[in-house]
Structure 1
Amino acid sequence: MKIYAHTIPSTAPEIFISCLQIHQQSRLLLQRTVEVDTRSQSSLDDGDICATAKAELMAIQHLLLHSELVPGIGLPRIHLTVSNGSVKKALLNQSDLNLNKYATPIRIRSEKIQSKVNNQRPKWFCETPTQRIQCSYMYKNSRVKANTVLGEVDLTLLAIKQYQSHTPIQIVDSPLKGLVRDLQRSSLMRVKLPEHVIRHKLKKYGDIAKDTEFWSSENGALVYVVQQNRQTRTLLTCYPKRHNIRT
Protein backbone atom coordinates (compact mmCIF):
# COMPACT_ATOMS: atom_id res chain seq x y z
CA MET A 1 0.00 0.00 0.00
CA LYS A 2 1.34 3.41 -0.99
CA ILE A 3 0.20 6.59 0.72
CA TYR A 4 0.93 10.13 -0.41
CA ALA A 5 0.32 13.02 1.97
CA HIS A 6 0.80 16.75 1.64
CA THR A 7 -0.17 19.40 4.17
CA ILE A 8 -0.29 23.19 4.01
CA PRO A 9 -1.40 25.89 6.47
CA SER A 10 -4.82 27.40 5.94
CA THR A 11 -5.68 31.06 6.32
CA ALA A 12 -6.69 30.42 9.94
CA PRO A 13 -3.97 29.94 12.59
CA GLU A 14 -3.34 26.33 13.68
CA ILE A 15 -5.69 24.93 11.04
CA PHE A 16 -4.17 22.95 8.18
CA ILE A 17 -5.31 21.37 4.93
CA SER A 18 -4.04 17.85 4.38
CA CYS A 19 -4.63 15.99 1.11
CA LEU A 20 -3.96 12.25 0.95
CA GLN A 21 -3.97 9.55 -1.69
CA ILE A 22 -3.94 5.79 -1.15
CA HIS A 23 -2.72 3.49 -3.90
CA GLN A 24 -2.96 -0.30 -3.95
CA GLN A 25 -1.09 -2.24 -6.65
CA SER A 26 -0.58 0.92 -8.72
CA ARG A 27 -4.31 1.72 -8.57
CA LEU A 28 -5.71 4.81 -6.88
CA LEU A 29 -8.08 3.66 -4.14
CA LEU A 30 -9.10 7.07 -2.90
CA GLN A 31 -8.15 10.67 -2.44
CA ARG A 32 -9.33 12.65 0.53
CA THR A 33 -8.78 16.19 1.78
CA VAL A 34 -9.03 16.79 5.52
CA GLU A 35 -9.10 20.05 7.44
CA VAL A 36 -7.09 19.51 10.62
CA ASP A 37 -7.65 21.72 13.65
CA THR A 38 -4.61 21.31 15.90
CA ARG A 39 -6.09 23.45 18.69
CA SER A 40 -7.51 21.73 21.76
CA GLN A 41 -7.33 21.89 25.52
CA SER A 42 -5.40 18.63 25.57
CA SER A 43 -2.74 19.92 23.18
CA LEU A 44 -1.70 22.85 25.38
CA ASP A 45 0.96 20.69 27.07
CA ASP A 46 2.42 19.40 23.80
CA GLY A 47 5.21 21.93 23.84
CA ASP A 48 6.78 23.59 20.80
CA ILE A 49 6.36 21.00 18.04
CA CYS A 50 6.01 21.34 14.31
CA ALA A 51 2.29 22.02 13.88
CA THR A 52 2.28 21.07 10.19
CA ALA A 53 3.84 17.67 10.96
CA LYS A 54 1.37 17.10 13.79
CA ALA A 55 -1.53 17.87 11.45
CA GLU A 56 -0.21 15.53 8.77
CA LEU A 57 0.24 12.65 11.22
CA MET A 58 -3.31 13.16 12.51
CA ALA A 59 -4.66 13.12 8.95
CA ILE A 60 -2.77 9.92 8.09
CA GLN A 61 -3.99 8.31 11.31
CA HIS A 62 -7.56 9.34 10.63
CA LEU A 63 -7.50 7.80 7.18
CA LEU A 64 -5.82 4.53 8.17
CA LEU A 65 -7.15 3.87 11.66
CA HIS A 66 -10.42 5.73 12.15
CA SER A 67 -12.21 5.70 8.79
CA GLU A 68 -12.78 1.92 8.49
CA LEU A 69 -10.95 2.04 5.18
CA VAL A 70 -8.44 -0.66 6.17
CA PRO A 71 -10.20 -3.69 7.72
CA GLY A 72 -8.68 -5.67 10.59
CA ILE A 73 -6.57 -4.65 13.53
CA GLY A 74 -3.25 -4.38 11.74
CA LEU A 75 -1.99 -2.44 8.74
CA PRO A 76 -0.16 -3.96 5.78
CA ARG A 77 3.30 -2.85 4.79
CA ILE A 78 2.99 0.77 3.78
CA HIS A 79 5.14 3.14 1.77
CA LEU A 80 4.55 6.72 2.82
CA THR A 81 5.51 9.85 0.92
CA VAL A 82 5.14 12.79 3.30
CA SER A 83 5.60 16.52 2.92
CA ASN A 84 7.59 17.16 6.08
CA GLY A 85 10.89 15.74 7.34
CA SER A 86 9.56 15.88 10.89
CA VAL A 87 6.78 13.46 9.90
CA LYS A 88 9.34 10.97 8.59
CA LYS A 89 11.38 11.23 11.80
CA ALA A 90 8.29 10.63 13.92
CA LEU A 91 7.33 7.56 11.87
CA LEU A 92 10.85 6.24 12.54
CA ASN A 93 10.48 7.11 16.25
CA GLN A 94 13.36 9.56 15.91
CA SER A 95 11.58 12.83 16.64
CA ASP A 96 10.93 14.40 20.03
CA LEU A 97 8.53 12.60 22.33
CA ASN A 98 5.63 15.00 21.77
CA LEU A 99 5.60 14.44 18.00
CA ASN A 100 6.44 10.72 18.20
CA LYS A 101 3.23 10.00 20.08
CA TYR A 102 1.16 11.07 17.07
CA ALA A 103 3.04 8.48 14.98
CA THR A 104 3.05 5.64 17.53
CA PRO A 105 -0.49 4.36 16.74
CA ILE A 106 0.53 4.03 13.08
CA ARG A 107 3.87 2.34 13.85
CA ILE A 108 2.52 -0.31 16.21
CA ARG A 109 -0.22 -1.37 13.80
CA SER A 110 2.02 -1.61 10.72
CA GLU A 111 4.01 -4.63 9.63
CA LYS A 112 6.60 -2.32 8.13
CA ILE A 113 6.80 1.38 7.27
CA GLN A 114 8.98 2.93 4.61
CA SER A 115 8.86 6.69 4.23
CA LYS A 116 10.37 9.45 2.16
CA VAL A 117 9.92 13.20 1.93
CA ASN A 118 8.67 15.23 -1.02
CA ASN A 119 8.02 18.81 0.01
CA GLN A 120 6.90 19.87 -3.46
CA ARG A 121 3.16 20.44 -3.68
CA PRO A 122 1.75 17.69 -5.96
CA LYS A 123 -0.45 18.47 -8.95
CA TRP A 124 -3.28 16.40 -7.50
CA PHE A 125 -3.44 18.47 -4.30
CA CYS A 126 -6.95 19.72 -3.55
CA GLU A 127 -7.74 22.54 -1.12
CA THR A 128 -11.42 21.68 -0.70
CA PRO A 129 -11.81 19.65 2.53
CA THR A 130 -14.30 16.80 2.62
CA GLN A 131 -14.28 16.69 6.42
CA ARG A 132 -12.76 18.29 9.51
CA ILE A 133 -10.98 16.64 12.42
CA GLN A 134 -9.85 18.10 15.72
CA CYS A 135 -6.90 17.27 17.92
CA SER A 136 -7.93 14.80 20.62
CA TYR A 137 -6.55 12.06 22.85
CA MET A 138 -7.59 9.53 20.20
CA TYR A 139 -4.67 10.57 17.99
CA LYS A 140 -2.17 10.08 20.83
CA ASN A 141 -3.55 6.81 22.16
CA SER A 142 -0.97 4.02 21.78
CA ARG A 143 -3.34 1.34 23.10
CA VAL A 144 -5.07 -1.05 20.73
CA LYS A 145 -8.44 -2.66 21.42
CA ALA A 146 -8.64 -6.34 20.47
CA ASN A 147 -11.30 -9.04 20.71
CA THR A 148 -9.87 -12.08 22.51
CA VAL A 149 -11.05 -15.13 24.44
CA LEU A 150 -10.99 -12.83 27.50
CA GLY A 151 -13.36 -10.43 25.77
CA GLU A 152 -12.27 -6.98 24.62
CA VAL A 153 -8.76 -6.18 25.86
CA ASP A 154 -6.68 -3.00 25.64
CA LEU A 155 -3.17 -3.88 24.47
CA THR A 156 -0.48 -1.55 25.79
CA LEU A 157 2.59 -0.55 23.81
CA LEU A 158 4.77 -2.28 26.43
CA ALA A 159 2.88 -5.57 25.96
CA ILE A 160 3.32 -5.43 22.18
CA LYS A 161 7.04 -4.66 22.51
CA GLN A 162 7.52 -7.46 25.06
CA TYR A 163 5.71 -9.91 22.80
CA GLN A 164 7.96 -8.88 19.93
CA SER A 165 11.14 -9.28 21.99
CA HIS A 166 10.18 -12.77 23.20
CA THR A 167 8.91 -14.10 19.86
CA PRO A 168 11.31 -15.24 17.09
CA ILE A 169 10.92 -13.10 13.98
CA GLN A 170 10.61 -16.20 11.78
CA ILE A 171 7.42 -17.11 13.68
CA VAL A 172 5.63 -13.80 13.42
CA ASP A 173 6.28 -10.85 11.09
CA SER A 174 3.67 -8.57 12.65
CA PRO A 175 3.91 -8.45 16.49
CA LEU A 176 0.44 -6.97 16.85
CA LYS A 177 -1.27 -9.57 14.67
CA GLY A 178 0.70 -12.38 16.33
CA LEU A 179 -0.22 -11.20 19.81
CA VAL A 180 -3.91 -10.91 18.96
CA ARG A 181 -3.87 -14.35 17.36
CA ASP A 182 -2.34 -15.88 20.52
CA LEU A 183 -4.91 -14.14 22.72
CA GLN A 184 -7.69 -15.62 20.60
CA ARG A 185 -6.61 -19.23 21.18
CA SER A 186 -9.25 -21.28 22.95
CA SER A 187 -6.54 -23.02 25.00
CA LEU A 188 -5.74 -19.79 26.86
CA MET A 189 -6.70 -20.04 30.53
CA ARG A 190 -6.24 -18.18 33.77
CA VAL A 191 -3.32 -19.58 35.76
CA LYS A 192 -1.81 -19.33 39.24
CA LEU A 193 1.83 -18.53 39.67
CA PRO A 194 4.09 -19.27 42.66
CA GLU A 195 3.67 -16.63 45.38
CA HIS A 196 7.24 -15.36 45.11
CA VAL A 197 6.77 -14.81 41.37
CA ILE A 198 3.54 -12.88 41.95
CA ARG A 199 5.24 -10.66 44.55
CA HIS A 200 8.08 -9.96 42.14
CA LYS A 201 5.73 -9.05 39.27
CA LEU A 202 3.59 -6.81 41.45
CA LYS A 203 6.66 -5.01 42.73
CA LYS A 204 7.97 -4.56 39.20
CA TYR A 205 4.74 -3.46 37.53
CA GLY A 206 3.09 -1.51 40.33
CA ASP A 207 0.43 -1.88 42.95
CA ILE A 208 -2.16 -3.70 40.88
CA ALA A 209 -2.71 -6.47 43.46
CA LYS A 210 -6.13 -8.10 43.34
CA ASP A 211 -6.98 -6.61 39.97
CA THR A 212 -4.21 -8.59 38.25
CA GLU A 213 -4.77 -11.85 36.38
CA PHE A 214 -2.22 -14.17 34.79
CA TRP A 215 -3.13 -16.05 31.61
CA SER A 216 -1.30 -18.69 29.62
CA SER A 217 -1.87 -22.00 27.82
CA GLU A 218 -0.38 -25.42 28.43
CA ASN A 219 1.80 -25.34 25.33
CA GLY A 220 2.26 -21.57 25.24
CA ALA A 221 5.63 -19.94 25.74
CA LEU A 222 4.38 -16.76 27.42
CA VAL A 223 2.46 -15.61 30.47
CA TYR A 224 0.18 -12.62 29.96
CA VAL A 225 -0.31 -10.11 32.78
CA VAL A 226 -3.83 -8.67 32.61
CA GLN A 227 -5.32 -5.94 34.79
CA GLN A 228 -9.08 -5.75 35.20
CA ASN A 229 -10.53 -2.37 36.07
CA ARG A 230 -14.33 -2.37 36.21
CA GLN A 231 -15.43 -3.39 32.72
CA THR A 232 -12.03 -2.98 31.09
CA ARG A 233 -9.24 -5.53 30.78
CA THR A 234 -5.76 -4.26 29.94
CA LEU A 235 -2.81 -6.40 28.87
CA LEU A 236 0.03 -4.78 30.79
CA THR A 237 2.89 -7.02 29.65
CA CYS A 238 3.93 -10.57 28.90
CA TYR A 239 7.02 -12.59 29.73
CA PRO A 240 8.49 -16.06 29.06
CA LYS A 241 7.02 -18.92 31.07
CA ARG A 242 9.83 -20.18 33.31
CA HIS A 243 7.84 -21.50 36.27
CA ASN A 244 5.32 -24.21 36.88
CA ILE A 245 1.82 -22.80 36.68
CA ARG A 246 -1.51 -24.11 37.87
CA THR A 247 -4.97 -23.56 36.48
Structure 2
Amino acid sequence: MESENVFSDSSCSSVPISMSIVEASSCVSSTCSSTYISSQLYYTTTTCPSDTKSYAASTYGSTKYLLVDVYSDTDCTAYSGTAVVAATGNCEVLGSTGQGVITTVFSNGSAQLEYFMDASCIYTASSPYIISKDLLTSHACFQGFKLYSNSDGSSSSGTIGTTGNNGGGSGLGTGVIVGIIAGVLLLVLIVAGILWCRCRRDRTKQEQEQEQQYVQTPGALEDPVAASEDFYQVPITPQKTGTASTTL
Protein backbone atom coordinates (compact mmCIF):
# COMPACT_ATOMS: atom_id res chain seq x y z
CA MET A 1 0.00 0.00 0.00
CA GLU A 2 1.06 3.60 -0.53
CA SER A 3 0.30 6.42 1.88
CA GLU A 4 0.62 10.12 1.13
CA ASN A 5 0.99 11.96 4.44
CA VAL A 6 0.44 15.71 4.77
CA PHE A 7 2.10 17.75 7.54
CA SER A 8 2.05 21.37 8.65
CA ASP A 9 5.62 21.42 9.99
CA SER A 10 8.72 21.52 7.79
CA SER A 11 10.35 18.52 9.48
CA CYS A 12 7.29 16.26 9.17
CA SER A 13 7.84 15.32 12.80
CA SER A 14 4.32 16.03 14.05
CA VAL A 15 1.35 13.75 13.46
CA PRO A 16 0.03 14.08 9.90
CA ILE A 17 -2.83 16.45 9.22
CA SER A 18 -4.19 13.74 6.95
CA MET A 19 -3.17 10.54 5.22
CA SER A 20 -4.43 9.18 1.89
CA ILE A 21 -3.81 5.47 1.40
CA VAL A 22 -4.34 3.37 -1.72
CA GLU A 23 -3.31 -0.10 -2.81
CA ALA A 24 -0.13 -0.17 -4.87
CA SER A 25 1.69 -3.01 -6.61
CA SER A 26 4.93 -1.11 -6.01
CA CYS A 27 5.61 1.63 -3.49
CA VAL A 28 8.62 3.90 -3.08
CA SER A 29 8.87 5.86 0.15
CA SER A 30 9.98 9.48 0.16
CA THR A 31 11.30 11.84 2.81
CA CYS A 32 9.82 15.14 3.92
CA SER A 33 9.42 17.63 1.08
CA SER A 34 7.50 20.87 0.62
CA THR A 35 4.49 21.26 -1.63
CA TYR A 36 1.76 23.79 -2.29
CA ILE A 37 -1.85 22.75 -1.81
CA SER A 38 -4.38 25.40 -2.81
CA SER A 39 -1.64 28.06 -2.66
CA GLN A 40 -0.72 27.10 0.91
CA LEU A 41 2.61 25.57 1.90
CA TYR A 42 2.51 22.05 3.34
CA TYR A 43 4.94 19.17 3.67
CA THR A 44 4.49 15.57 2.58
CA THR A 45 6.04 12.16 2.91
CA THR A 46 5.27 8.87 1.18
CA THR A 47 5.28 5.65 3.17
CA CYS A 48 4.48 2.03 2.38
CA PRO A 49 2.32 0.55 5.16
CA SER A 50 1.15 -3.05 5.09
CA ASP A 51 -2.01 -2.44 7.11
CA THR A 52 -4.01 0.80 7.25
CA LYS A 53 -5.49 0.35 10.73
CA SER A 54 -2.30 -0.54 12.59
CA TYR A 55 -0.40 2.11 10.65
CA ALA A 56 -2.86 4.84 11.61
CA ALA A 57 -2.88 3.70 15.24
CA SER A 58 0.91 3.76 15.52
CA THR A 59 1.20 7.05 13.63
CA TYR A 60 -1.35 9.06 15.60
CA GLY A 61 -0.93 7.42 19.00
CA SER A 62 -3.13 9.25 21.52
CA THR A 63 -4.02 11.99 19.03
CA LYS A 64 -7.63 11.55 18.00
CA TYR A 65 -8.27 10.74 14.37
CA LEU A 66 -10.99 9.50 12.05
CA LEU A 67 -10.32 6.79 9.47
CA VAL A 68 -12.64 6.16 6.53
CA ASP A 69 -12.33 3.11 4.29
CA VAL A 70 -13.86 3.91 0.90
CA TYR A 71 -15.40 1.31 -1.42
CA SER A 72 -16.61 1.65 -4.99
CA ASP A 73 -19.80 -0.27 -4.18
CA THR A 74 -22.43 0.15 -1.48
CA ASP A 75 -21.80 -3.37 -0.12
CA CYS A 76 -18.18 -2.53 0.78
CA THR A 77 -16.68 -5.39 -1.22
CA ALA A 78 -14.56 -3.40 -3.71
CA TYR A 79 -11.96 -1.45 -1.73
CA SER A 80 -10.85 1.88 -3.24
CA GLY A 81 -8.73 3.54 -0.59
CA THR A 82 -8.51 5.00 2.90
CA ALA A 83 -8.61 8.59 4.15
CA VAL A 84 -7.35 9.45 7.64
CA VAL A 85 -7.64 12.90 9.20
CA ALA A 86 -6.59 14.28 12.57
CA ALA A 87 -9.65 15.13 14.66
CA THR A 88 -8.51 18.58 15.77
CA GLY A 89 -11.84 20.34 15.46
CA ASN A 90 -10.13 22.82 13.14
CA CYS A 91 -10.01 23.17 9.38
CA GLU A 92 -7.49 20.73 7.92
CA VAL A 93 -6.57 19.92 4.33
CA LEU A 94 -7.59 16.44 3.22
CA GLY A 95 -4.80 14.95 1.15
CA SER A 96 -3.25 16.92 -1.70
CA THR A 97 -6.51 17.50 -3.60
CA GLY A 98 -7.20 20.86 -1.94
CA GLN A 99 -10.36 19.83 -0.08
CA GLY A 100 -10.93 20.88 3.53
CA VAL A 101 -12.42 18.99 6.44
CA ILE A 102 -13.30 19.76 10.05
CA THR A 103 -13.29 16.63 12.18
CA THR A 104 -14.21 16.39 15.85
CA VAL A 105 -14.24 13.22 17.95
CA PHE A 106 -16.13 13.70 21.20
CA SER A 107 -15.45 12.14 24.60
CA ASN A 108 -18.55 9.92 24.33
CA GLY A 109 -17.10 8.27 21.22
CA SER A 110 -19.26 9.99 18.61
CA ALA A 111 -17.78 12.20 15.90
CA GLN A 112 -18.69 15.09 13.62
CA LEU A 113 -17.33 15.39 10.09
CA GLU A 114 -17.83 18.30 7.69
CA TYR A 115 -16.45 18.54 4.14
CA PHE A 116 -15.53 21.70 2.24
CA MET A 117 -14.69 22.38 -1.38
CA ASP A 118 -11.59 24.38 -0.44
CA ALA A 119 -8.63 23.98 1.92
CA SER A 120 -9.70 27.04 3.96
CA CYS A 121 -13.09 25.51 4.81
CA ILE A 122 -15.13 28.38 3.37
CA TYR A 123 -17.26 26.63 0.76
CA THR A 124 -19.29 23.82 2.28
CA ALA A 125 -19.75 20.61 0.33
CA SER A 126 -22.46 19.21 2.60
CA SER A 127 -24.06 19.59 6.00
CA PRO A 128 -22.06 18.12 8.91
CA TYR A 129 -22.19 14.37 9.49
CA ILE A 130 -22.86 13.27 13.05
CA ILE A 131 -21.39 9.79 13.41
CA SER A 132 -22.54 7.65 16.31
CA LYS A 133 -20.23 5.70 18.59
CA ASP A 134 -21.96 2.50 17.53
CA LEU A 135 -21.11 3.02 13.87
CA LEU A 136 -17.50 3.84 14.75
CA THR A 137 -17.07 0.73 16.87
CA SER A 138 -19.04 -1.74 14.75
CA HIS A 139 -17.30 -0.64 11.52
CA ALA A 140 -20.46 -1.64 9.69
CA CYS A 141 -20.66 -0.95 5.97
CA PHE A 142 -22.72 2.18 5.39
CA GLN A 143 -23.38 3.42 1.84
CA GLY A 144 -19.95 2.35 0.63
CA PHE A 145 -17.69 3.26 3.50
CA LYS A 146 -16.57 2.06 6.94
CA LEU A 147 -15.56 4.32 9.80
CA TYR A 148 -12.96 3.93 12.55
CA SER A 149 -11.45 6.09 15.28
CA ASN A 150 -9.28 5.70 18.36
CA SER A 151 -11.80 7.40 20.64
CA ASP A 152 -13.22 5.63 23.68
CA GLY A 153 -16.83 5.88 24.80
CA SER A 154 -19.99 3.92 25.50
CA SER A 155 -21.92 2.30 22.68
CA SER A 156 -24.85 4.27 21.29
CA SER A 157 -27.90 3.30 19.32
CA GLY A 158 -26.43 4.21 15.93
CA THR A 159 -29.73 5.53 14.59
CA ILE A 160 -29.77 7.32 11.25
CA GLY A 161 -31.63 10.58 10.78
CA THR A 162 -31.42 14.34 10.38
CA THR A 163 -30.99 16.76 13.25
CA GLY A 164 -31.57 20.49 13.31
CA ASN A 165 -30.93 23.24 15.84
CA ASN A 166 -33.64 21.86 18.11
CA GLY A 167 -31.84 18.52 18.36
CA GLY A 168 -34.84 16.60 17.08
CA GLY A 169 -34.57 13.68 14.69
CA SER A 170 -36.52 12.47 11.70
CA GLY A 171 -36.46 9.62 9.24
CA LEU A 172 -33.91 9.19 6.51
CA GLY A 173 -35.26 11.63 3.91
CA THR A 174 -34.24 12.38 0.34
CA GLY A 175 -32.09 15.34 1.40
CA VAL A 176 -30.14 13.17 3.82
CA ILE A 177 -29.58 10.48 1.21
CA VAL A 178 -28.32 13.08 -1.26
CA GLY A 179 -25.97 14.46 1.39
CA ILE A 180 -24.62 11.00 2.17
CA ILE A 181 -24.07 10.23 -1.50
CA ALA A 182 -22.31 13.58 -1.94
CA GLY A 183 -19.98 12.77 0.93
CA VAL A 184 -19.18 9.33 -0.47
CA LEU A 185 -18.59 10.74 -3.94
CA LEU A 186 -16.21 13.31 -2.48
CA LEU A 187 -14.19 10.60 -0.77
CA VAL A 188 -14.12 8.56 -3.98
CA LEU A 189 -12.92 11.63 -5.88
CA ILE A 190 -10.18 12.13 -3.29
CA VAL A 191 -9.01 8.56 -3.78
CA ALA A 192 -9.26 8.99 -7.55
CA GLY A 193 -7.18 12.13 -7.25
CA ILE A 194 -4.51 10.22 -5.35
CA LEU A 195 -4.40 7.57 -8.05
CA TRP A 196 -4.25 10.22 -10.78
CA CYS A 197 -1.43 12.09 -9.07
CA ARG A 198 0.54 8.88 -8.58
CA CYS A 199 0.06 7.81 -12.22
CA ARG A 200 1.01 11.27 -13.42
CA ARG A 201 4.11 11.24 -11.22
CA ASP A 202 5.14 7.82 -12.55
CA ARG A 203 4.53 8.91 -16.13
CA THR A 204 6.59 12.07 -15.62
CA LYS A 205 9.39 10.01 -14.13
CA GLN A 206 9.42 7.77 -17.21
CA GLU A 207 9.47 10.81 -19.48
CA GLN A 208 12.38 12.24 -17.53
CA GLU A 209 14.32 9.00 -17.86
CA GLN A 210 13.66 8.93 -21.61
CA GLU A 211 14.71 12.56 -21.90
CA GLN A 212 17.98 11.85 -20.10
CA GLN A 213 18.83 9.22 -22.69
CA TYR A 214 19.05 11.94 -25.36
CA VAL A 215 20.04 15.04 -23.40
CA GLN A 216 23.44 14.95 -21.75
CA THR A 217 23.11 18.28 -19.95
CA PRO A 218 21.27 18.48 -16.61
CA GLY A 219 17.52 18.74 -17.04
CA ALA A 220 15.31 21.38 -15.47
CA LEU A 221 12.08 19.42 -15.34
CA GLU A 222 9.90 20.09 -12.34
CA ASP A 223 7.56 17.70 -10.59
CA PRO A 224 3.95 18.21 -11.66
CA VAL A 225 1.66 19.97 -9.22
CA ALA A 226 -1.69 18.30 -8.64
CA ALA A 227 -4.50 20.68 -9.53
CA SER A 228 -7.71 20.22 -7.60
CA GLU A 229 -9.70 21.93 -10.35
CA ASP A 230 -9.10 18.90 -12.54
CA PHE A 231 -11.58 17.03 -10.36
CA TYR A 232 -13.98 19.67 -9.03
CA GLN A 233 -16.13 22.48 -10.37
CA VAL A 234 -16.00 26.13 -9.31
CA PRO A 235 -16.69 26.40 -5.54
CA ILE A 236 -20.30 26.92 -4.58
CA THR A 237 -21.58 30.03 -2.81
CA PRO A 238 -20.60 30.08 0.89
CA GLN A 239 -23.29 28.71 3.14
CA LYS A 240 -23.87 29.01 6.85
CA THR A 241 -22.84 25.87 8.64
CA GLY A 242 -24.10 24.31 11.84
CA THR A 243 -27.79 24.81 11.04
CA ALA A 244 -28.36 21.22 10.06
CA SER A 245 -26.49 17.97 10.21
CA THR A 246 -26.71 14.38 9.10
CA THR A 247 -26.60 11.67 11.75
CA LEU A 248 -25.09 8.32 10.83
Tell me the TM-score normalized by structure 1: 0.25
- Using the size of structure 2 for normalisation, the TM-score is 0.24
Larger Rg: 1
